Amino acid sequence: MGKVSFGLAVAVSCAVASTGIAAVLVVRRVRRRTRWNRVLGVLKEFEEACSTSVGRLRQVVDAMAVEMHAGLASEGGSKLKMSLSFVQKLPSGNERGIYYAVDIGGTNFRVLRVQLGGKRSAIVGCDAERQSIPQELMTSTSEDLFDFITSSLKQFIEKEGRGSELLPGRRRDLGFTFSFPVKQTSASSGHLIKWTKGFRIEDLVGRDVAECLQQAVNKKGLDVRVSALVNDTVGTLTLGHYHDPDTVAGVIIGTGTNACYLEGMDAIIKCQGLLRTSGVMVINMEWGNFWSSHLPRTSYDVDLDADSPNPNDQGFEKMISGMYLGEIARRVILRMAQESNVFGPVSPGLSMPFNLRTPLMSVMHEDESPDLREVARILDDTLGIPDVPLKVRRLVVKVCDIVTRRAARLAAAGIVGILKKIGRDGSGGITNGRTRGSSDSNMRRTVVAIEGALYTNYRSFREYLNEALVEILGEDIAQHVTLQVTKDGSGVGAALLAACHSSNIVDRDGSP
Ligand code: ADP
Ligand code: MG
């Protein structure tokens, strides 16, 4: 072969090779774009399925109010239990003395001592000790559970030292906050219906939890009387009402979610014949189990529910509360990782159920650093996904945002559902012979006491909830509604109710 023809051959093969390389690069780029588009598709589909337009939220409001009616009409009339709390009067503010509470219901366990001074809002002192509930306790035996509670209580009382001894014949009154579905038989007794929030201590289901605690307390040799059995929502409403008598409802948004409110006895059809000591009773809605076809449910919710120990149960809670939000986000991110390689190979950390806890999800969501450093750190440390590019980190933030926004807006719709049921949402109702319509002139000041670390610690959640409340109610009506955080309300409220039902009572006068 001559020099010229050899050179030509080299040039041709170089051209072919570079065309080939270019083609490969183009194919790769197209594939990458296709995969990226697929990830964006997952995001878009998720976002659309989570849509919470005001119109849809109003449908949820209406459904909540309808289900409340049904649950009050008959036992089992609705997925909303609408449980009677037997609390027909709330503390008046005149109670005096030292009262105790233990509060169990999710992630944290609290023991409290409250000193009441006898004037409205006169909580002279309040000491509380908090600890995480050991994971293994959640699926142990009732003996282990009550041993844990009474050991903590014993240590707490022993630390009081001198001066805290009881007068002869007196016992310490204790409110027991137990935040799982209970069928109350009085203000100080009730049977566990079922466990929620990952707890499963089978031998306690169907038993009187207050009686079990009293027996465990006696066994420990403590001079304590379980004077009130209280749901955390009821404790929160009680403390809220103690500080502000315009408080009509208590809402919990923590590990789980639930609400209670003050209902007129006449509206509680299913409790006709019950001894009335006042015109109202606190109703524990158990709204975590609320369900409506108007709820924006995604395939991720369906799968999470199917994989849970309590399928078809606690549907509202599974969309809203702290136990589940991180898990929903993890499932969406996992799907994205499976659809493409934007997260590299699917890591075992990402595949592990409940590996992304909601507090970490909130840290990612609220990461304000320009390069989303916290997002990268959590993806790496917790989910085992290193070196995530910035644009993918932004995607993760967006997933967290969608999950939280939907949850907070649904919680807001739930709250407005209560207001609607009791005629405090500014709609309908007849006043002075005229239909009120959307006028706010007759709207009374309305306070909703709220507690739970998801609401108090997660700013974006709180802002989305407050914003949705105004959107649903309209500004004119919303200005009359206050959401009031009641710190430790579930526990302090239980101590207040223990004071109300105390046998050592100094002054028990009072009505809601
Ligand atoms: P409990 O429900 O046990 O009474 P809390 O009201 O303290 O306890 O709620 C604890 C739950 O709140 C946690 O399990 C978590 O889901 C959620 N949570 C706590 N802190 C945050 C946070 N900073 N961001 C988001 N969620 C949080
Ligand atoms: Mg709590």
- C-alpha span between 227 and 494 (Å, rounded): 9
Q: How far is the CA of 452 from the centre of ligand 2 (A)?
A: 6
Q: How far is the CA of 250 from the centre of ligand 2 (A)?
A: 12
Looking from the CA of residue 357, the nearest atom of ligand 1 is: 16
The pLDDT of residue 501 is 84
Q: How far is the CA of 105 from the centre of ligand 2 (A)?
A: 6
The pLDDT of residue 404 is 98
- C-alpha span between 380 and 389 (Å, rounded): 12
Could you report the per-residue pLDDT of 273-306, keeping only the tens digit for each?
777 888 999 999 999 999 999 999 999 999 999 9
Helices marked H in 54-194 = 54-73, 142-158
The pLDDT of residue 177 is 98
C-alpha neighbours within 13 Å on the C-beta side of residue 369? 11
Residue located via tokens 């975590």: 288
- Residue ranges of domains in the chain, CATH in brackets: 54-82+247-444+446-479 (3.40.367.20), 85-243+489-504 (3.30.420.40)
- C-alpha span between 499 and 100 (Å, rounded): 9
- Give the ligand with the smallest distance to the CA of 452: 1
pTM score, two decimals? 0.91
Using an 8 Å Cβ cutoff, are 68 and 486 in contact? no
Answer positive or negative: Cα dihedral of 499, 504, 507, 512.
positive
Q: How far is the CA of 3 from the centre of ligand 2 (A)?
A: 87
Using an 8 Å Cβ cutoff, are 363 and 374 in contact? yes
Helices marked H in 382-483 = 390-421, 453-457, 459-473, 475-478
Looking from the CA of residue 254, the nearest atom of ligand 1 is: 9
**CB of residue 359 inside a 6 A radius of ligand 1:** yes
**CB of residue 326 inside a 6 A radius of ligand 1:** no
**CB of residue 452 inside a 6 A radius of ligand 1:** yes
Q: How far is the CA of 221 from the centre of ligand 2 (A)?
A: 27
Which residues make beta-bridge pairs with 250?
A: 260, 449
Residues of the chain with pLDDT under 70: 1-27, 120-121, 161-169, 428-441, 503-512
- C-alpha span between 340 and 467 (Å, rounded): 35
The pLDDT of residue 357 is 98
Could you report the per-residue pLDDT of 6-60, keeping only the tens digit for each?
555 555 565 655 666 666 666 677 777 788 999 999 999 999 999 999 999 999 9
Answer positive or negative: Cα dihedral of 91, 497, 282, 406.
positive
**CB of residue 414 inside a 6 A radius of ligand 1:** no
The pLDDT of residue 431 is 39
Task: Give the residue, by CA position, lying nearest to ligand 1 atom 24.
Answer: 359
Using an 8 Å Cβ cutoff, are 304 and 324 in contact? yes
475: region left, alpha or beta (phi > 0 left; psi from -120 to 50 alpha):
alpha
**CB of residue 138 inside a 6 A radius of ligand 1:** no
Using an 8 Å Cβ cutoff, are 508 and 500 in contact? yes
**CB of residue 258 inside a 6 A radius of ligand 1:** no
Q: How far is the CA of 453 from the centre of ligand 2 (A)?
A: 8
Could you report the per-residue pLDDT of 385-431, keeping only the tens digit for each?
999 999 999 999 999 999 999 999 999 999 999 999 999 999 864 33
- Give the ligand with the smallest distance to the CA of 236: 2
Using an 8 Å Cβ cutoff, are 53 and 413 in contact? no
Task: List CB contacts of 160: < 8 A, sequence separation 6 or more.
Answer: 113
Three-state SS at 447: strand
- C-alpha span between 150 and 148 (Å, rounded): 6
Answer positive or negative: Cα dihedral of 480, 485, 490, 491.
negative
